[in-house]
Structure 1
Amino acid sequence: MTGSDRATTPPGTGGAGTTPAAAGVTTAVVVGAGLAGLTAATGLAARGVDVTVLEARERVGGRTHGLPVAPGHQVDAGAAYLGERHTELLALVKDLGLDTTPTTMLGAGRFLLGREDTTRDGRFPPLNAVALGDLFEQLDVLTAAVRLDAPWLTPDAARLDTLTAAAWADRQLTHPDARLFFPLFLGEMMAADPADVSVLHMAFYLRSGGGIRYLNAFEGGAQQDRIAGGAHQVCERLAGRLGARVRLGEAVHAVHQDEDGVTVHSTGGAYRAKVAVIALPPLPADAVQYRPAPPVRRAGERTARGCAVKATLVYPEPLWRAHGLSGWSVNAEGPLLSTVDDSPADGGVGVLTGFITGNEARRFGALGPREQRTAVVEQAARVFPMLPPPTGLHITDWVNERYSQGCYAALRGPGDWLRYGPTLTAPHRRVHWAGTETSTEYFGLMEGAVRSGHRVVAEVLARG
Structure 2
Amino acid sequence: MSEDRRRDGHGPEGRRRSAVVVGAGLAGLTAATGLAAHGIEVTVLEARDRVGGRTHGIEAAPGSRVDAGAAYLGDKHTELHALIAELGLKTAPTTMLGASRFALGSAAENDARDASADDDCTAAATREGRFPPLDAVALGDLFERLAELTAAVRPEAPWLTPDAERLDTLTAAEWAEQHLAHPDARLFFPLFLGEMCAADPADISVLHLAFYLRSGGGLRYLNAFAGGAQQDRIDGGAHQLCERLAERLGDRVRLGEAVRAVHQDDDAVTVHTGRGAHRADVAVLALPPLLADAIAHEPALPVPRAGERTARGCAVKVHLVYPAPLWRDHGLSGWSVNARGPLLSTVDDSPGSGIGVLTGFVTGAEAHRFGALTPERQRAEALAQAARLFPMLPEPIGFHVTDWLNDPYSQGCYAALLGPGDWTRLGPTLTAPHRRVHWAGTETSTAFFGLMEGAIRSGRRVVAEILDRS
TM range (shorter): over 0.9
Letter in 2 for 1:369: P
For each residue in 1:426-447, what CA deviation from the matched residue of structure 2 results, as whole angstroms up to 9, or x when unmatched? 0000000000000000000000
Structure 1 residue 164 and structure 2 residue 171: aligned? yes
Name the aligned partner's letter for residue 294 of structure 1.
L
Alignment of 1:220-239 (within 5 A): 220-239=227-246
**1:389 matches 2:380:** no
Equivalent residue, structure 2, for 1:334: 341
Match of 1:458 in 2: 464
Deviates more, 1:352-361 or 1:111-120: 111-120
Displacement after TM superposition at 1:301 (Å): 1.2
* Residue deviations 1:39-76 (CA, integer Å, cap 9, x gap): 00000000000000000000000000001011111000
1:28 match: 19
Report Cα offsets for 1:259-278 as digits up to 9, x if no partner: 10100001121001000000
Identity of aligned residues (%): 76
Does the 8 Å contact 1:19/1:46 carry over to 2?
Answer: no
Structure 1 equivalent of residue 84 of structure 2? 93
8 Å contact 2:18–2:40 — kept in the other structure? yes
Q: In the alignment, what sits opposite 2:72?
A: 81
One-letter amino acid of the counterpart of residue 392, structure 1: G
2:37 equivalent among 15, 40, 46: 46
Partner of 2:432: 426
| 2:204 is equivalent to residue 216 of structure 1 | no
Q: Secondary structure at the match of 2:336?
A: strand
Matches within 5 A, 1:370-449: 370-449=376-455
Give, in angstroms, the shift of residue 403 of structure 1: 0.4
Query: Is the partner of 1:411 in helix, strand or coil?
Result: coil
CA RMSD of aligned residues (A): 1.0
Among candidates 136, 143, 149, match of residue 136 of structure 1 = 143
| Maintained 8 Å contact 1:106/1:326 | yes
3-state secondary structure, aligned to 1:204: helix
Structure 2 runs not aligned, ≥5 long: 1-5, 110-123
CA distance in 2, matches of 1:112, 1:412: 30
1:22 positional shift: 5.0
Out of 276, 291, 298, which is 2:298 matched to? 291
TM-score normalized by the length of structure 1:
0.95
How far apart, in 1, do the equivalents of 2:268 and 2:7 lie? 22
The match for 1:127 among 134, 137, 141 is 134
Mapped partners of 1:304, 1:232: distance in 2: 25
Q: Confirm or deny: 8 A CA contact 1:209 1:443 kept in the other structure.
A: yes
Give the conservation status (yes or no) of the 8 Å contact 2:7–2:467: no
Corresponding residue pairs, total: 446
Q: Which amino acid aligns with 1:147?
A: R
Rounded Cα–Cα distance in structure 2 between residues aligned with 1:242 and 1:314: 34
Q: Which amino acid aligns with 1:291?
A: E
Q: How big is each residue's C-alpha offset from its partner over 1:351-395, in whole Å with a ceiling of 9 and x where there is no partner?
A: 000000000000101111111110000000011111111111000
Q: Deviations over 1:110-157 (max 9, x none)?
A: 000014321011111011111101000000000101011110010000
Q: Give the Å deviation of 1:286.
A: 0.6
Task: Give the AA of the match of 1:32.
Answer: G
For residue 184 of structure 2, what is the amino acid of its counterpart? D
TM superposition score normalised by structure 2: 0.94
Which digits, 9 at most, give the CA deviation of each residue in 1:285-331, with x for residues without a partner? 11101100110000011000000000000000100000000000000
The reply to whether residue 61 of structure 1 matches residue 52 of structure 2 is yes
1-structure distance, mates of 2:275, 2:250 = 17
**1:22 and 1:461 in contact (8 A); partners too:** no
Q: Residues 404-424 of structure 1, C-alpha deviation per residue, up to 9 Å, x if partnerless?
A: 010000000000001100000
CA distance in 2, matches of 1:195, 1:385: 34
> Which amino acid in 2 is paired with 1:34?
G
Deviation at 1:19, TM superposition (A): 6.2
Q: 1:103-114 alignment to 2 at 5 Å?
A: 103-114=94-105
Q: In the alignment, does 2:201 pair up with 1:199?
A: no
Unmatched tracts of structure 1, length 5 or more: 1-17
Runs ≥4 residues deviating over 6 A: none
Alpha-carbon distance between aligned partners in 1 of 2:301 and 2:447, rounded to the nearest angstrom: 24
- Tell me by how many angstroms 1:23 deviates: 2.6
Cα distance in 2, alignment partners of residues 330 and 197 from structure 1: 22
CA distance in structure 1 between the partners assigned to 2:211 and 2:11 by the alignment? 37
Matches of 2:83 and 2:242 in 1, distance apart? 10
- Whole-angstrom CA distance in 1 between matches of 2:10 and 2:261: 26
The letter for the 2-side match of 1:141 is: E
Question: Match for 2:216: what amino acid?
Answer: G
Amino acid at match of 2:8: P
